[in-house]
Amino acid sequence: AQSVTQLGSHVSVSEGALVLLRCNYSSSVPPYLFWYVQYPNQGLQLLLKYTSAATLVKGINGFEAEFKKSETSFHLTKPSAHMSDAAEYFCAVSPFGNEKLTFGTGTRLTIIP
């Protein structure tokens, strides 16, 4: 069985500061990993995904995530926060060859002007 742990249900950063959202996973087989973002009153949309091609994955809106097998982590970063980044972010894991996707509990990101 797979699982995802997102550390910090709420994260606040100043505009222009580094964004770091943490995600640790557990999977008995090589995983696929995803970050989804949910803007207020909207559904989720994909930010980026890891499929074993490269450990550093670049996504939309300047976000990127690095897969670290030794740490079982897939943290999401952005060098400089923008007000429009305020949203809830979900990490998700899917085992290879299985469509079942397990989501973390989410991290709400607030940007301080």
Partner 1 sequence: EAQVTQNPRYLITVTGKKLTVTCSQNMNHEYMSWYRQDPGLGLRQIYYSMNVEVTDKGDVPEGYKVSRKEKRNFPLILESPSPNQTSLYFCASSDRVVSGANVLTFGAGSRLTVL
For binding to partner 1 (CB under 8 A), which residues are involved?
Answer: 6, 9, 32, 34, 36, 41-46, 49, 51, 90, 94-106
Bridge partners of residue 20, in order along the sequence? 77
Which H or E run includes 6?
strand 3-7
Measured CA to CA, the distance from residue 20 to residue 7 in angstroms comes to 10
| Nearest distance in Å: CB 52, partner 1 | 9
Pick the closer one to partner 1 by CB: 17 or 108. Answer: 108
Q: Shortest approach of partner 1 to residue 100 CB, angstroms? A: 7
Closest CA relative to residue 75, chosen from 26, 23, 19: 23
Nearer to partner 1, 84 or 100 (CB): 100
Minimum gap (Å) between residue 48 Cβ and partner 1: 10
Residue with Cβ nearer partner 1 (19 or 33): 33
Alpha carbon separation from 68 to 74, 76, 112 (Å, rounded): 6, 12, 30
